[in-house]
Amino acid sequence: MNNPVAVVIGERLARYGFPDGHPFGPDRHAAFLREFEARGLQRNVQVLEPREASYEELLAFHTPRYVDFVRERSQTGQGFLDGGDTPAFRGVYEAAATVVGASITASDAIMAGTARTAFVPIAGLHHAGRDHAAGFCVFNDCGVVIELLRSRHGLSRIGYVDIDAHHGDGVYFGFEDDPAVIFADIHEDGESLYPGTGKAADTGRAAAVGTKLNLPLMAGSGDRAFQGAWARVLEHLERFEPQFLLLQCGADSVEGDPITHLRFSPAMHGQAAQDLVRLASRLGHGRVLALGGGGYNRSNLGKAWSEVVAGLA
Ligand SMILES: [Zn+2]
């Protein structure tokens, strides 16, 4: 095997970002690379090039009507894709489809055995729903990867763990009644932060009741609160023995983010990655795919994601 950790980066992936001083700007990719290279991490990973997801791949999670809507708005670059958080820009379709393609590239490398674990910095767009954009997220790469792991690779239990400050509502509601998706999400309480969902009582619907774990934390919570919640995430995953682990490691839960109020240290992100690698190994497959997610303090995202890459190795 090549180096067992794959990192998907490249100029095409960097294009996913919104203009005019939007918090999710296109400079986030470079902000990650600066810290990643400063720590010499590129010497310990295999670098993969992203590709654009096909129209059919997007339809694994999204409705054709929504995908067509994004394609139309992408040509004019005018207006918003949602109520006002996620602006259209020229080429937004290609940029968003490349985020999805990057996450598919990473999960395919893991399933082919050419990588054991992988990281994609500009990815983990967990707010996008099956038929709508939301919260800076156009296409939900997490949702597409989960669907493809089942349809193309025949997996039947997939773990999705989310430590972004915001609740992963696009993934939660996308799979709310689906028992194949083992979901665990630590986030800032919806009383103080967008999108307002993710109450502890929400554990899934119908056949999926009990497969979803939502752990809201009060604004201002730090590492101690994270550790307590994290132990419950690990227990939840152990119970269902997922065959593949996804980690949405949004860096906006790190202290000093401009739009959220959690106060984790970047070391928590590293620990999360490391613990999931250990768990995946105990479960006999070793498969962990980490997706960058949010994070609007550039220094924080460089640190937290570099810790994740180091944790994956
Ligand atoms: Zn977030």
Q: Measured in angstroms, how far is the CA atom of residue 209 from the centroid of ligand 1?
A: 25
Label each residue of 92-149 as H, E or C.
Answer: HHHHHHHHHHHHHHHHHHHHHCCCCEEEECCCCCCCCECCECECCECCCHHHHHHHHH
Q: Are residues 122 and 29 in contact, defined by beta-carbon separation less than 8 angstroms?
A: yes
Q: Measured in angstroms, how far is the CA atom of residue 284 from the centroid of ligand 1?
A: 31
Q: Measured in angstroms, how far is the CA atom of residue 2 from the centroid of ligand 1?
A: 32
Q: Measured in angstroms, how far is the CA atom of residue 112 from the centroid of ligand 1?
A: 30
Q: What share of the chain in percent tops pLDDT 70?
A: 100
Which has the minimum average pLDDT: 2-11, 173-182, 192-201, 242-251?
Answer: 2-11
- CA–CA separation, 117 and 32 (whole Å): 18
Q: Measured in angstroms, how far is the CA atom of residue 164 from the centroid of ligand 1?
A: 5
Give the pLDDT mean for 131-143.
98
25-61: pLDDT as tens digits? 999 999 999 999 999 999 999 999 999 999 999 999 9
Give the pLDDT mean for 126-147.
98
Q: Measured in angstroms, how far is the CA atom of residue 252 from the centroid of ligand 1?
A: 6
Q: Measured in angstroms, how far is the CA atom of residue 191 from the centroid of ligand 1?
A: 15
Q: Measured in angstroms, how far is the CA atom of residue 295 from the centroid of ligand 1?
A: 6
- Kindly list the distances between the CA atom of residue 77 and the CA atoms of 72, 73, 151, in Å, as whole numbers in the listed order: 9, 6, 33
**Cβ within 8 Å of residue 298, ≥6 positions away:** 27, 28, 31
Q: Measured in angstroms, how far is the CA atom of residue 245 from the centroid of ligand 1?
A: 19
pLDDT at 1 over 70: no
Q: Measured in angstroms, how far is the CA atom of residue 275 from the centroid of ligand 1?
A: 21
Q: How confident is the model at residue 121 (pLDDT cuts 50, 70, 90)?
A: very high
Q: Measured in angstroms, how far is the CA atom of residue 113 from the centroid of ligand 1?
A: 30
Q: Measured in angstroms, how far is the CA atom of residue 219 from the centroid of ligand 1?
A: 14
Q: Would the pTM count as exceeding 0.85?
A: yes
Q: Measured in angstroms, how far is the CA atom of residue 293 from the centroid of ligand 1?
A: 6
Q: How confident is the model at residue 237 (pLDDT cuts 50, 70, 90)?
A: very high
Share the mean pLDDT of the chain: 97
Supply the pLDDT for residue 223.
98
Supply the pLDDT for residue 3.
86
Q: Measured in angstroms, how far is the CA atom of residue 178 from the centroid of ligand 1?
A: 24
Q: Measured in angstroms, how far is the CA atom of residue 250 from the centroid of ligand 1?
A: 6
